[in-house]
Structure 1
Amino acid sequence: MSFTGTVPTRALGPGGPEVPVFALGSWNTWDRMEFDDAVSLIRRAHEVGAAFFDVAHYNMGPHAENARTDLIFGEAVRASGIARDDYLLCGKLWLWEYPHTTFADQMRTSVDRIGVDKADLVVVGDYFGEVDVRAIVTDVAAEIAAGRFDGWGVNNWAIDDVRLAIDFAQDEGLTPPTFAQLKYGLVRRTMAEGSHYGELFASGALALQASDVFEGGILAGKLSPSRKIGADVGGIRDRIVAAYPRVQQIAHSLDATPTQLGLAFVLAHPATANVLFGVSRAEQLEDNLGALALLDRVGAEGIRAVTADLWLDREVNADGTWPMQA
């Protein structure tokens, strides 16, 4: 049965916009489906109130792929007939070649490739080693002043750097990050639920944007993914594969699918503003939308109770550092 309601919205952090709790991510998404299917998927996302698209130019560091996914998205969203004001666009700013490759250069390239004038939000991405947080906040503010986007978040930053970014921005009258995009789901919870990020989420200083909820498809039943998937932080992937039958069992007991269980779990976290997922077929989106009914029926406490034994990374970076900096 197709979803007939409207996806609810939540604030993307203090001062952030109201965003749908579901958002479509771009990595290995738009370039792995037929073009007409991409157009239909965008239209359906808009129809149910989930027209939030996370789209990046993958051309640096571990993502030096020169993928066409952002180009395809731009073509598909224009073909969909949806006006620019009727969807939210979240881009990425990479730190691997920063400041040699400036944020201004990255933004000009990104919006030109998609074929738009600006993004609504950006996520300032992964890094190795130390970074100049004050310079990052200042350069982000310059891009906001230039009208290239309105707000920003961080992606997998060490917690001390996040705190510094918030404090420096507030001291200087600049725009602080309002959300953190973290790997978060049934089996990988430590970064989001550990004491460090957890303190910022509990205080309301940041919202959580969950990504890689299905571990590259493993928790959706694709136990041997053939495509490139996200990093295996803590080396727990074999344990994740072994845990999938338990995920199936719990989902079946709730008259739900494993994907619905995974999304309902993420939305049960009070700090979660939205969750990114990549779908390449309309039926996958419809299935995901069913998570909303599951959460409403079982409740956040009920979802967390039945999935408590699935937390597999309790001891991974419990000090709040990210493995790439550890």
Structure 2
Amino acid sequence: MSFTGTVPTRALGPGGPEVPVFALGSWNTWDRMEFDDAVSLIRRAHEVGAAFFDVAHYNMGPHAENAKTDLIFGEAVRASGLGRDEYLLCGKLWLWEYPQTTFADQMRTSLDRIGVDKADLVVVGDYFGEVDVRSIVTDVAAEIAAGRFDAWGVNNWAIDDVRLAIAFAHESGLTPPSFAQLKYGLVRRTMAEGSYYGDLFRSGALALQASDVFEGGILAGKLAPSRKIGADVGGIRERIVAAYPRVLQIADGFGATPTQLGLAFVLAHPATANVLFGVSRADQLEDNLGALAMLDRVGVDALRAATEELWLDREVNADGTWSI
């Protein structure tokens, strides 16, 4: 059954934009479908009020993939007939080669590849070793001043660096990050619900953008993904695969699909402003949209109670090591 309503919106953190609770990602997405299907998917997302697209240029660090997914998205969104003011665009700024590759250079390249003049927001993320947080905040502010985007968030930052970024931005009169894009879902909860980011979420200093909800498709029933998927923090992927039958059983008990269960769980977190997922078929989007009705039908308390046993990374620290 097709979704007939409109996806609700939530604020993406203090000072952040109002966004639909669902957003479509680009990693291994637009380059895995027929072009006409991509155009139809973009139109359908707009039709239901979920025209929020996370689109990155995968060109450095572990994502030096020479991917064309951003180029394809740019062509598809133009073919869809949507004007630039009819959808939200979230870009990525990578830290692996920063500051040698500047944010200004990254934004110019990314926007040129998509074929637009600006993004609405960006995620700054993924680094190894120490970074100069004050320089990052300053350089992000310069891109905001240049009109390339309006708001920003962080992805996979150490919590002390996030706190420093927020404090320095406020002290300097610059724009602080308003959200954190984190792995969060039925089986991975520690980063979002533990003390690492949990305190910032509870205080309202940041909103949560949940990603990798389905563990690269495993929690949607694809137990042996053939494509590249996200990092296995804490080395728990075998346990996640083993837990899938229980996920399916719980979903069946609620009259829902495993993907609807996973998305409803994430939306039940009070800090969640937005859930980022990749879909490569229209029926996948329709199935995901059904999570909204499931959450309304089941309720937060029953959903949390039924899925408590699925929290598999309780002992994983923010750096991926195990607590003793």
| TM-score range relative to shorter protein | over 0.9
Q: Distance in 2 between matches of 1:137 and 1:288?
A: 35
The answer as to whether partners of 2:151 and 2:175 remain within 8 angstroms in 1 is yes
Q: Which residue of 2 aligns with 1:15?
A: 15
1:195, CA displacement in angstroms? 1.1
Change (3 A) 1:322 1:122: farther
Q: Which residue of 2 aligns with 1:78?
A: 78
The answer as to whether partners of 1:157 and 1:322 remain within 8 angstroms in 2 is no
Q: Which residue of 1 aligns with 2:92?
A: 92
Q: Distance in 2 between matches of 1:142 and 1:15?
A: 17
Aligned residue for 1:122, secondary structure, equals strand
C-alpha RMSD over aligned residues: 0.7
Q: Distance in 2 between matches of 1:301 and 1:169?
A: 37
Q: Which residue of 2 aligns with 1:41?
A: 41
Q: Distance in 2 between matches of 1:105 and 1:19?
A: 27
**1:233 pairs with 2:250:** no
1:180, CA displacement in angstroms? 0.1
Q: Which residue of 1 aligns with 2:57?
A: 57
| Structure 1, unaligned runs of 5 or more | none
The answer as to whether partners of 1:264 and 1:294 remain within 8 angstroms in 2 is yes
Letter in structure 1 aligned against 2:249? Q
Q: Which residue of 2 aligns with 1:311?
A: 311
1:117, CA displacement in angstroms? 0.3
Aligned residue for 2:6, secondary structure, equals coil
| Structure 2, unaligned runs of 5 or more | none
Letter in structure 1 aligned against 2:92? K
The answer as to whether partners of 2:16 and 2:178 remain within 8 angstroms in 1 is yes
Q: Distance in 2 between matches of 1:109 and 1:44?
A: 28
Calculate the TM-score normalised by the size of structure 1.
Answer: 0.98
Q: Distance in 2 between matches of 1:199 and 1:270?
A: 13
Provide, for residues 86-143 of structure 1, a one-character-per-residue CA deviation record: whole Å limited to 9, x for no partner: 1000000000000000000000000000000000000001000000000000000000
Aligned residue for 1:53, secondary structure, equals strand
The answer as to whether partners of 1:188 and 1:312 remain within 8 angstroms in 2 is yes
The answer as to whether partners of 1:25 and 1:55 remain within 8 angstroms in 2 is yes
Aligned residue for 1:276, secondary structure, equals strand
Aligned residue for 1:307, secondary structure, equals helix
Q: Which residue of 1 aligns with 2:224?
A: 224
Provide, for residues 238-263 of structure 1, a one-character-per-residue CA deviation record: whole Å limited to 9, x for no partner: 00000000000000000000000000
Aligned residue for 1:210, secondary structure, equals strand
The answer as to whether partners of 1:92 and 1:123 remain within 8 angstroms in 2 is yes
Q: Which residue of 1 aligns with 2:209?
A: 209
TM alignment of 1:267-282, pairs within 5 A: 267-282=267-282
1:214, CA displacement in angstroms? 0.2
TM alignment of 1:108-119, pairs within 5 A: 108-119=108-119
Q: Distance in 1 between matches of 2:301 and 2:42?
A: 32
**1:259 pairs with 2:259:** yes
Q: Distance in 2 between matches of 1:154 and 1:221?
A: 29
- Size of the aligned set, in residue pairs, is 321
Provide, for residues 37-79 of structure 1, a one-character-per-residue CA deviation record: whole Å limited to 9, x for no partner: 0000000000000000000000010000010000000000000
1:196, CA displacement in angstroms? 2.2
Aligned residue for 2:182, secondary structure, equals strand
